[in-house]
Amino acid sequence: MVALTPLGSLPYPQPTDNADIPVHLQSLAEAVDGRTVLRFADAAARDAKITDPLPGMVAWLNNPGRYYHFTAAKQWAPLVPGPVHWFSTLTGTTSSAAYVETLTGATDPLAVSFIAPPAGIALITVGARFNNSAAGLTYFSASVKQSTRVVSAAADSRAATVGGTNQVSASVQFPVSGLTAGAAHTVTGAFRTTATSTSLTNRFLTITPLN
Question: Residue by residue, what is the 3-state secondary structure of 105-123?
Answer: CECCCCEEEEECCCCCEEE
Would you call 189 exposed, middle or buried from its count of C-beta atoms within 10 A (0-12, 13-18, 19+)? Answer: buried
For residue 22, is the peptide bond before it cis, meaning its omega torsion is within 30 degrees of 0? no
Check residue 202 and give left, alpha or beta (phi > 0: left; psi -120 to 50: alpha). Answer: left
The verdict on pTM exceeding 0.75 is: no
State the Cα–Cα distance between residues 196 and 198, nearest whole angstrom.
7
Say yes or no: 19 and 57 in one domain.
yes
Query: What was the pLDDT predicted at 1?
Result: 64
The residue among 78, 108, 125 that closes a domain is: 78
Q: What's the pLDDT at 170?
A: 97
| Beta strand pairing call for 3-4 and 11-12 | antiparallel
Residues 73 and 97 in one domain: no
- The CA R_g of the chain, rounded to the nearest whole Å, is 25
Quick one: 109 and 177 in the same domain?
yes
Q: Is the dihedral of CA 60, 61, 66, 69 positive or negative?
A: negative
* Strand, helix or coil for residue 144: strand
> How confident is the model at residue 160, as a pLDDT?
98
Whether residue 52 contacts residue 76, with contact meaning beta carbons closer than 8 Å, is answered with no
The per-residue pLDDT string of the chain (211 residues; one tens digit each, 9 = 90 and over) reads 677 777 667 777 778 778 888 877 787 777 777 778 889 999 999 999 999 998 889 999 998 888 888 887 788 877 766 788 999 999 999 999 999 999 999 988 788 988 888 788 999 999 999 999 999 999 999 999 998 999 999 999 999 999 999 999 999 999 999 999 878 899 999 999 999 999 999 999 999 988 7
Q: Structural domain of residue 160, as residue ranges?
A: 84-210
State how far Cα 8 lies from the chain centre: 32
Last residue of a domain, one of 37, 52, 78: 78
Q: How many domains does the chain have?
A: 2
Longest dimension (CA), the chain: 90
What pLDDT score was predicted for residue 198? Answer: 96
Tell me, yes or no, whether 40 and 98 share the same domain: no
- Examine the domain organization and report whether 68 and 160 are in the same domain: no
Whether 72 and 92 map to the same domain: the answer is no
